[in-house]
Amino acid sequence: MAVKSTFHLLADIISQAVDTIEDVYATAGLDVPSLDESFNPASPAEALRRHPLVSAATLDLVVAAGQIAAIAQDPVISALNNAYATGDKGMAATDIAAHSQADPLLLARILRLLATHHVFHKGKPTKTLLEAPKDVEVLSYSMQSDLD
């Protein structure tokens, strides 16, 4: 028998979670809340989301879905999505790279290229050694360590 891939194992977790959720709702004689309906926090179907089996299955489903998305999505696209998600404040290339396990130097070059083509703009640069307020001892130590 062939070993199932991580992709399939995660899909199985999602399928089992959906079955559990639907079983709990069916036992209660309710439909699973739908995005096609307005949210009503007082509805019995919404209250059933707090049922221990539904809560646990929902957590399994969400985590497995996130892992499937991470496996399926190109790491560069994932990094760009993380960059867009930061809004106006921006995010350092090293932080974006950490989320996608990409090479931070390569990612910084790609982001610079995309900024050049106005895909997005480069955020405010971090303060340099000369811009940041420092006392003389810190400056001399920093300069000496750069020379070593």
Summarize pLDDT for 2-34 with one digit per residue, the tens: 889 999 999 999 999 999 999 999 999 999 998
On whether both 79 and 109 belong to a single domain, the answer is: yes
**Could you tell me if residue 142 is inside a domain?**
yes
Q: Are residues 49 and 108 in the same domain?
A: no
Q: Residue 91 corresponds to which tokens in the numbers above?
A: 């995010």
Shared domain check, 98 and 126: yes
If asked whether residues 86 and 131 sit together in one domain, one would say yes
> What pLDDT is recorded for position 14?
97
By residue range, what is the domain housing residue 21? Answer: 6-72
Regions of the chain short of the pLDDT cut 50: 127-131, 134, 139, 141-148
pTM: 0.56
Long-range contacts formed by 69-76: CB under 8 A, 24+ apart: 71/6, 71/7, 71/10, 72/7, 75/100, 75/101, 75/102, 76/100, 76/102, 76/107, 76/110
- Together in a domain, 90 and 141: yes
